[in-house]
Structure 1
Amino acid sequence: MNLFDFSLQLNGYPLDKAKKELAHIQQKKDLDFKMFLKDKRHAIVDFHVSHNNYYKSLAPHANSKHWDSIPVMTKKDLQCPLEERLSKGFTTKNTYVNKTSGSSGDPFVFAKDKYSHAMTWAVIQNRFSWYDMDFNTSRQARFYGIPLDKKGYYKERLKDRLSKRYRFSVFDLSDAAFEGHLNKFKVTSFDYINGYTSSIAQFAKFLERKSINLSSICPTLKACVVTSEMLFDTDKKLMEKQFGIPIINEYGASELDLIAFQNTSNDWQLNSETLYVEILDANDNCLPYGEEGRIVITSLYNRAHPFIRYDIGDVGILSKTSTLRKPILKTLIGRTNDIAILPSGKKAAGLTFYYITKRIIEDDGNVKEFIIEQLEKPLFKVSYVSEEQLSEDKKNTIAQEMERYLEKGLTVTFERQHKLKRSKGGKLKQFTSHVNSTS
């Protein structure tokens, strides 16, 4: 039985229908595809103008036939209660609801209608199939975080079991933890690795120190898919050397879809079936292929919640070889996370803070932006912008979560600010460590 597909279908996500539609899209000739893309863009704008009061107030002059009339949305536009942003007929009960990671520093809760979410999974499964990886049959070595509360922990473990995944925690990147990982690879026929770039790179460095090639002890491995953080050429070469398998670069956003996936020709191919991707300048003008600008994305299927000309907060360049059907992401700027080095010498991935800062990501939109800095090994500072000061109880909860996920003896300070410093590209880096490995 295809347990992964079955579990999605059981929860109301029509995956079979989505797979058929995706196959139909991919079979279109170039001219037909151009018309499909135009029609879907018009249809999603017209739907939200007619059925979503929030979007109508955000874009009162939007005209689907005049694309320049449609304003660019930012994450700040979405920091109000989710119920205010849903289209007519949709509720938190009949949609897929989740939170963004806050890696850009602008957290919010979002929703997708169930067919849109099924299309997301259809695209993901299609891309993985390029490398003979199947979510129903292939065994995954998963380098991700996991909630530490009892309910969240067992929920993720159940999902892992249904999805043929074994999860390696990114909260501990010590050599002792990696020894345990290595032993698991020796006795398990994993088909592929998937997870956070920095954590997997740290595992590759461990293997290099031990002079071990992973494919020699786990010959079933076919590929490694890295996501959520920048993949640098040096790390990619190291992983290829120590794993002995292709390293595949994935770029996605939970509120949207899989955005880009490295194809078998080594191109970072954008998802043109469920998304429309633009590169814009500072004045919201569309830039030609080959020029650097803001990545702005329209979700073509999500009727529950508008993501129309949505500025994701990243900067990139589309290759000059791009076409409407097959756009290629030449360069992505941003999405890099530091490694935290703790007083004990233990290391933890920067995205560990995704699980910790969920405590300050609230649907009421109080916290608008936040960043975390490691000033010294035991000292962390949380800077945030909010409508109201964080309560002492909230601060204590965050400090306790840091100790629970990392280690005891840490000091956490808080500073409410009117505005947080941004990078040249306009992004906030969620976590920065000012501690080097020799200090």
Structure 2
Amino acid sequence: MKTFNISLFLKRFPIKRAKQELLKISEIKEADYEGFLKSKKAEIVNFHLKNNTFYQSKVKAGFSDWESLPILKKKDFQIPLKERLSEGFSEKKVYVNKTSGSSGNPFRFAKNKFSHAMTWAYHMERFGWHGIDFNSSFQARYYGIPLDFVQNKTVKLKDFLANRHRFSILDLSEKALGEMLEVYKKKPFDYINGYTSSIVLFAKYLKKKNIVLKDFCPSLKVCIVTSEMLFDEDKNLLEKQFGVPVVNEYGCSEAGVIAFTNSEDEWEVDSKTLFVEILDENDKPLPFGQEGRIVITSLHNKAHPFIRYEIGDYGALHEKSTFKKPILKKLVGRTNDFAILPSGKKAAGMTFYVITKNIMEESGNLKEFKVIQTKMDTFEIDYVSDEILKAEKIKTITATLEQFLEPGLTFHFNRKQQLDRTEIGKLKQFISNIKQ
């Protein structure tokens, strides 16, 4: 029984029509794809210029060429949703959701039902690359769960209907990880899906016990991580301890999947429902290979304009990208994930997080950690490990970080039983409390 398709149909998301449209787009030849994107971009812009007063107020000079259009930021959407909806759409007739707030500017947004169906159809296609069928495959799920009684029961019902078992990621103690392993021994999971940090922590537990998960759960096919950075060493760890391929999903609630690992282990960008640009600080497109701000356009969302929308991430497209098959070369981090130092230097938080991570993991007992900038010259490094870091190791980390950043910085190392996560269970690996 195709329960997932039925659930979308009951919510009046036209999934069948969306799959047909996606197939039609897939059949467009590479030579014709630039023309297809140009046509879709013009179509969505002209629709909103005609039907959306909010977007009309942003494009006061009219639509002359693509680069003349404004870059929309999260702060532009800090007005009531009803004031941003296109003519003919109401909150009762669209899909409504809210952003995660990881950028510090959460807001509600909408998608017309066909646009949301296109997002799901694309999602299902990408998971299908790795033998996963949303209607039948059994998922081991690592996401947060609401504590509110009604919301909690609603999520559990959705999990049941969607054929998935949700593990608690609020308790990742040694005892809880051991109990988690026992579930894998009893249930025929097809795939693992969820927040990177929680899944990596489970893999570290397996490594400590010298266990390969597929030996206990032979039905397991693939591990798909999302929402948090996946580093190469963590990917290698997951593949070794799970015994299955690891897929990296990158997306946002407003757009859905932006990039997804394909069968050639490339981070393929969605060019069917989105148009993705990499821009410099002057809003000019950057050549393939160069890092800049990630800006997206939703090609089918007529309810709400996400046109040249800056999602708050930095990244780069691979040099071998094409219009039909863009490849994400790297994801650097969020625009607010930077450390501002006393000299005025600005350093990507993720970069020195990686440096610290590499040194700390040499000790062999590190489970997870995060870096918090509390002052221009002061950083708190909270970590979970079997043993406390020795003074010699702390000295090495401090010297290396000062060499990379600048001298005169202070680092406090705080061993914790468990790290604080967001309400939905995400671990933010770098936090700056400095006003940027």
TM-score higher than 0.5 here? yes
2:347 aligned with 1:347: no
Shift of 1:37: 1.0
- Separation in structure 1 between the aligned mates of residue 276 and residue 109 of structure 2, nearest angstrom: 19
Could you say which residue in structure 1 is the equivalent of 2:13?
13
Could you say which residue in structure 2 is the equivalent of 1:417?
none
Could you say which residue in structure 2 is the equivalent of 1:365?
none
- Separation in structure 2 between the aligned mates of residue 52 and residue 203 of structure 1, nearest angstrom: 47
List per-residue Cα deviations over 1:144-167 (Å, max 9, x = no partner).
001110111111111111111100
Residues 183-332 of structure 1: pairs in structure 2 closer than 5 A? 183-332=182-331
Could you say which residue in structure 2 is the equivalent of 1:421?
435
Could you say which residue in structure 2 is the equivalent of 1:55?
55
Shift of 1:355: 6.7
2:72 aligned with 1:73: yes
Residues 132-147 of structure 1: pairs in structure 2 closer than 5 A? 132-147=131-146
Label 1:245 to 1:172 Cα distance change in 2 as closer, same or farther (>3 A).
Answer: same
- Separation in structure 2 between the aligned mates of residue 341 and residue 179 of structure 1, nearest angstrom: 21
- Separation in structure 2 between the aligned mates of residue 329 and residue 280 of structure 1, nearest angstrom: 14
Sequence identity (%): 53
List per-residue Cα deviations over 1:108-155 (Å, max 9, x = no partner).
111111110000000000000001100001000000001110111111
2:33 aligned with 1:33: yes
Shift of 1:373: 9.4
Alpha-carbon contact 1:296-1:311 (below 8 Å) kept: yes
Shift of 1:104: 1.8
Higher relative contact order (CA 8 A, sep 6+): 1
In structure 1, the residue corresponding to 2:150 is in which secondary structure?
helix
Alpha-carbon contact 2:144-2:423 (below 8 Å) kept: no
Could you say which residue in structure 1 is the equivalent of 2:46?
46
Alpha-carbon contact 1:240-1:246 (below 8 Å) kept: yes
List per-residue Cα deviations over 1:46-79 (Å, max 9, x = no partner).
111111111111221241x500110000011111
Residues 142-157 of structure 1: pairs in structure 2 closer than 5 A? 142-157=141-156
- Separation in structure 2 between the aligned mates of residue 211 and residue 355 of structure 1, nearest angstrom: 27
List per-residue Cα deviations over 1:257-291 (Å, max 9, x = no partner).
21000111111000000000001010000111111
- Separation in structure 1 between the aligned mates of residue 430 and residue 191 of structure 2, nearest angstrom: 33
Could you say which residue in structure 2 is the equivalent of 1:116?
115
- TM-score w.r.t. length of structure 2: 0.80
Note the aligned Cα RMSD (angstroms): 2.3
- Separation in structure 1 between the aligned mates of residue 62 and residue 251 of structure 2, nearest angstrom: 27
- TM-score w.r.t. length of structure 1: 0.79
In structure 2, the residue corresponding to 1:189 is in which secondary structure?
coil
Could you say which residue in structure 2 is the equivalent of 1:130?
129
- Separation in structure 2 between the aligned mates of residue 346 and residue 110 of structure 1, nearest angstrom: 37
Shift of 1:33: 2.3
Alignment-mate amino acid for residue 80 of structure 1: I
Label 1:349 to 1:319 Cα distance change in 2 as closer, same or farther (>3 A).
Answer: farther
Shift of 1:176: 1.1
- Separation in structure 2 between the aligned mates of residue 250 and residue 421 of structure 1, nearest angstrom: 30
In structure 1, the residue corresponding to 2:156 is in which secondary structure?
helix
- Separation in structure 2 between the aligned mates of residue 355 and residue 227 of structure 1, nearest angstrom: 12
Alignment-mate amino acid for residue 146 of structure 1: I
Residues 345-424 of structure 1: pairs in structure 2 closer than 5 A? 346-348=417-419, 350=421, 352-354=422-424, 421-422=435-436
Alignment-mate amino acid for residue 291 of structure 1: Q
- Separation in structure 1 between the aligned mates of residue 328 and residue 109 of structure 2, nearest angstrom: 25
Alignment-mate amino acid for residue 90 of structure 2: T
In structure 1, the residue corresponding to 2:423 is in which secondary structure?
helix
How many residues align? The count is 364
Alignment-mate amino acid for residue 33 of structure 1: Y
In structure 1, the residue corresponding to 2:241 is in which secondary structure?
helix
- Separation in structure 2 between the aligned mates of residue 287 and residue 263 of structure 1, nearest angstrom: 24
Alignment-mate amino acid for residue 347 of structure 1: Q
- Separation in structure 2 between the aligned mates of residue 312 and residue 108 of structure 1, nearest angstrom: 12
Alignment-mate amino acid for residue 50 of structure 1: K
In structure 2, the residue corresponding to 1:155 is in which secondary structure?
helix
In structure 1, the residue corresponding to 2:36 is in which secondary structure?
helix
Unaligned 5+ segments in structure 2 are 335-349, 354-368, 371-381, 385-413
Unaligned 5+ segments in structure 1 are 357-370, 375-381, 384-419, 423-439
Shift of 1:421: 2.6
- Separation in structure 2 between the aligned mates of residue 114 and residue 153 of structure 1, nearest angstrom: 25
- Separation in structure 1 between the aligned mates of residue 42 and residue 276 of structure 2, nearest angstrom: 15
Shift of 1:32: 2.9
- Separation in structure 2 between the aligned mates of residue 324 and residue 295 of structure 1, nearest angstrom: 16
Shift of 1:347: 2.3
Shift of 1:36: 1.7
Alignment-mate amino acid for residue 418 of structure 2: K
Could you say which residue in structure 2 is the equivalent of 1:404?
none
Label 1:91 to 1:32 Cα distance change in 2 as closer, same or farther (>3 A).
Answer: same
- Separation in structure 1 between the aligned mates of residue 191 and residue 16 of structure 2, nearest angstrom: 24
